Each structure stands twice: as structure tokens, then as C-alpha cells.
Amino acid sequence: MVRWSWSPAPPAGSAERPLFWWDHVLCLLGTGLRFGELAGLRRRRVHLDRPMPVLEVGSTRYQTGRFGSGFKPRPKSGSGIRPVPLAPLVVEAIRRRLPPGNDPDELVFTGPGGGPGQRGGPSVPRGARTVLSRHNLHRTYQGAVTKLADPAVPLRPTARRILLILRDGGPQHTDQLAAAGRRPIRPATVAAALGELHAAGLAAVHDHDQDEPTGRWAALPVARYPLLDAVDLHGAHDFRHTYATWLEDAGILPR
């Protein structure tokens, strides 16, 4: 089973999921919902003002490739129709995602919008409430795991090239970096790349001298998360296993 740290907001500068998805993750971690149950959650199934706030699992979203996608009125088994008590952090996350208005059938958790429309229709503006896609959430999850394994992945090509030069050749001045490799790089481009590496915590000025006021730049060691070597991560369903681990730790029977 997988363990994840629990905090109300992603740490600054960490390779976490984009902020849009953070409420989705909080709800998955704090309820043990399957993706389809989260994507099919309607406003009328959420009761945040009760003495013990709960959500009721009912309709779910399905995506079956060439067989289509949509919503079905119940989860895959009768036992899946259940009330789930909500921790305060989950209540806050759901409140942030509640749609405007009072339509009881509105979806609570949706996609970020943006991208082309379906079947040649108009493009969808970013920020529009779109139906949540399993594929989008999976790509975001895998992207976050990849960044944790190697923070250099999201860098632009020139920054990655400069980082590789620093890792292989040790501390160097900016003019050395500009002349390294088969094709020279403009000093302004090197400076921009070094700024990107510094912001990502991957490089810093190594020392200063009189001939080069800016000093030599060096690659910084990157700490690898031991969790990545201990577990086999797949997707959002990992959060359900984490929730099950927490229930077991609390002495709650699996059934």
C-alpha cells in the first residue's frame, strides 16, 4: 500500500501536481473514492452542513475507449453505494470546487477546460467547467511522479543541455558554458538557462573571483525520493490504497 503526506497545500517549489488538481487529490486521498466516483459526484450527493459532513457515492463516470463514455447511476457493485464521512480538509476542497448556482445535478469535480472542441466544435476556453477526464488526471499524475524522479524533466532543452554540461564538466564560467559543445550558445541564452536552473534548485554559483564577478556555476545534487524506489506507482487509484492504509492504521475493519 502507498503512503502519502497530508497537507492543506502543496509545498512551494516542490514537484507537486499543478494547483488546479490539488483539491481533486485531497478528495481522493481523504475519501478513498475511485476516479469514476469522483468524476460522477453531483452537488445533491454532498452534505457539508451536517454535524458530520458526508458525501454519498451514487452515479459514476465511465470511459471505455471505443465503447464510449458517460455516466451510470451506480458504482460497479451495490456495496459501493455508501456515505463517506469527510475530514475538514476535504470539506474545504469540495467547497472550493462547488459550481455556482444551486443545480443539484451539477458535477462537483470537473476538468480545467482548454483545448479543441469535440467533433470539430468550437474550442473550449481554459477555466471552463468540463467533464473530468481520466486520461488528463493520469497524465498529470505521471508527470508529477516523473518530476520527482528527475527535476530536470520539465526544463527547456537549453537548460537541460547546460545542466548536463555542469554535471559532466564540473563548475564553469558562463563563457565556458557558451562555448561548450558542438554548437556555441549565446551568452544571453546561457544566462536565461542558468536562471531557470537556479529557480529549480538545480544549479548555483560555486565561487567568485576577480576575473569573473559572476563566478563559476555548478550543478547541485538532487535528493531522490526514497518512496519512488519503495513502491510501484500507477495512477490516481494509488490514493485509494493510501486511504485503505490509513483506515487499517486506525483499526477500522477492511469490510
pLDDT of residue 113: 80
Average pLDDT over residues 150-156: 79
Are residues 201 and 230 part of one domain?
A: no
Are residues 234 and 186 part of one domain?
A: no
Greater pLDDT, 4 or 38: 38
Are residues 161 and 137 part of one domain?
A: no
Are residues 241 and 116 part of one domain?
A: yes
Residue 106 located in a structural domain:
yes
Are residues 233 and 162 part of one domain?
A: no
Cα(163)–Cα(195) distance, rounded to whole angstroms?
Answer: 11
The C-alpha R_g of the chain, in whole angstroms, comes to: 23
Residue 180 located in a structural domain:
yes
Average pLDDT over residues 20-25: 91
Cα(196)–Cα(184) distance, rounded to whole angstroms?
Answer: 19
Sorting pLDDT into bands at 50, 70 and 90, what band is 201?
confident
Are residues 108 and 41 part of one domain?
A: yes
Q: What is the mean pLDDT of the chain?
A: 82
Are residues 182 and 136 part of one domain?
A: no
Are residues 77 and 180 part of one domain?
A: no
Write the DSSP assignment of 130-190 as a string of letters: E---HHHHHHHHHHHHHHHH-TTTTS-HHHHHHHHHHHHH-SB-HHHHHH-SSS---HHHH
Domain range for 141 is: 19-148+226-249
Residue 11 located in a structural domain:
no
CA neighbours closer than 13 Å in the CB half-sphere of residue 204: 7
Contact 22, 10 (CB under 8 A): yes
Are residues 116 and 132 part of one domain?
A: yes
